[in-house]
Chain A
Amino acid sequence: MKEIACASGVELLMDYLEGVLPADLHTALDEHVAGCPRCAAFVASYRDTPRILREATAATLPADLEASLKAFLRARTTAFRSS
């Protein structure tokens, strides 16, 4: 069985979570994470990072922009058809 250190495990993390690692490496990383509280904590925060940033950067379309987009497209698409 391959021995994995935290540093090399971190480098493999994306491929590990996407399931594209070779089976033996995947198993070795599973075992390392199961026995290493630091890596278990690291993996948890690595998984949570996209969720936190997704929620924090979710911009809402302002109502006035929606109205101006509609007016803009009506003017421009009419212009397309009549050109």
Chain B
Amino acid sequence: MEPSDETLAAQAAAGDDSAFEAIVRRYQARVFRLACRLTSDTDAPDVLQETFLQVHRHLPSFRGESRLGTWLYRIATNASLMNRRAKARRPAESLEMYLPRFDAQGKHVATPVELQVASRADELLDRQFLAEKARDVVARLPDPYRDAFVLRDLEDMSTADVAHALGVEPATVRQRVHRARLMLRGYLSDLVGVKP
């Protein structure tokens, strides 16, 4: 039977290298995926290294107040954000054109069929094309929206954990995730040729 995270953390904190390597094996793929989403494919290897260095350094002070995965994810998030801050700032890009449109009465302009087409983006588009476009558009989101959306929706963290990781209120996380979903939904719709 595989040892639990808690057992591995205690053994690694006591200097057991094989336990630390087991933690790395267990979490490296998820940390890499997170780093790609928050930084870039090019920067993710550096984030991966930095994350596990930090984990190794701080394991002796890990008290188990949160789960190992949550704690480690927080380190990976911080490493990603630090990596991004160290780079030249991206020019802010507006994705407002992908927001839904309403008439003067506040009613959707698009038809039900048009409004639902974003749901079929993965059926209608080539997989590789969609993967490239998806990575690109997530990176184009304004940083506060990108961070909240990646952690909440792509990494499936709870709203409370995202709020803690980003140092904002849960209501702010919900507002940012919502805005990101609206823009990305419209973007998917536009990709398959229907105005959002």
User: Which positions in A face B, CB cutoff 8 Å?
Assistant: 5-8, 10, 13-15, 18, 20, 37-42, 44-46, 48-50, 52-61, 65-66, 68-70, 72-74, 76-77, 80-81
Contact = CB atoms under 8 A, between A and B. Distances in A.
B67 interface: no
Contact of A41 (B20, B113, B133): B113
B41 to A, nearest CB: 7
Contacts of B24: 69-70, 73
A72 B56 CA distance: 13
Contacts of B118: 45, 48-49, 52
A8 B29 CA distance: 40
B76 interface: no
A83 to B, nearest CB: 12
Contact of A77 (B17, B37, B134, B181): B17
A70 B188 CA distance: 38
B153 A53 contact: yes
B70 interface: no
Contact of B154 (A6, A48, A50): A50
Interface residues of B, number: 59
Interface in B18-44: 20-21, 24, 28-29, 32-33, 36-37, 41, 44
B185 interface: yes
B32 A5 contact: no
Contact of A57 (B29, B37, B181, B182): B37
Contacts, number: 141
Contact of B36 (A45, A50, A57, A81): A57
A80 B175 CA distance: 43
A14 B175 CA distance: 8
Contact of B188 (A42, A52, A76): A52
Given A14-B177, A42-B115, 7 more contacts: A6-B106, A6-B108, A15-B178, A38-B107, A48-B119, A57-B131, A77-B20
Given A45-B115, A45-B119, A65-B32, A57 B105 contact: no
A54 B49 CA distance: 23
A74 to B, nearest CB: 8
Interface string B119-160: 101100001001101110010000000000100011010010
A61 to B, nearest CB: 4
A69 B117 contact: no
Nearest to A13: B178
B131 A56 contact: yes
